[in-house]
């Protein structure tokens, strides 16, 4: 089927689909199709084509999604044994596949909250 024939048939079937969609309340599509002598298989074939064309035209109109920019994260290993006294207890341990972070009771609540936020964004 050449492009012109396809476009003419698409317009005809678009009108048929619109009529079927506006059928009387309570009447099923199958009943309407039988009453109007339209093949159910052809109807759904063209309905699929019409929907695909509508989707494609909508997709072309939408702007391309802008990729989110992820801020660069730099992590540094701090030698905790040298900085903190021996008597502090571990308050929080965060383990990932590649690293472990232990936060002691000597860390302020504010710093602990900020560390948890930073780690949750990095994961």
pLDDT tens, residue by residue, 87-110: 667 777 777 777 777 777 777 778
Q: What is the spatial distance between Cα 42 and Cα 63, in angstroms, rounded to a whole number?
A: 34
Residue 32 domain-assigned (yes or no): yes
Is residue 35 assigned to a domain? yes
pLDDT in tens, 50-83: 899 888 888 777 776 777 776 666 777 766 655 5
Cβ atoms 76, 101 nearer than 8 A: no
Same-domain status, 8 and 55: yes
97 shares a domain with 54: no
Is residue 92 within 8 A of residue 102, CB to CB? The reply is: yes
């Amino acid at each position: 089927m050449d492009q012109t024939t396809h476009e003419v048939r698409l317009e005809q079937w678009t009108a048929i689909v619109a009529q079927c969609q506006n059928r009387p309340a309570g009447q099923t599509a199958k009943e309407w199709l039988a009453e109007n002598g339209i093949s159910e298989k052809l109807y759904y074939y063209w309905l699929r084509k019409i929907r695909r064309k509508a989707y494609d035209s909508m997709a072309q109109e939408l702007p391309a999604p802008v990729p989110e920019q992820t801020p660069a994260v730099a992590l540094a290993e701090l030698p905790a044994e040298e900085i903190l006294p021996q008597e502090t207890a571990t308050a929080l341990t965060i383990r990932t596949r590649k690293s472990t972070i232990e936060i002691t009771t000597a860390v302020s609540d504010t710093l602990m909250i900020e560390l948890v936020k930073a780690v949750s964004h990095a994961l």
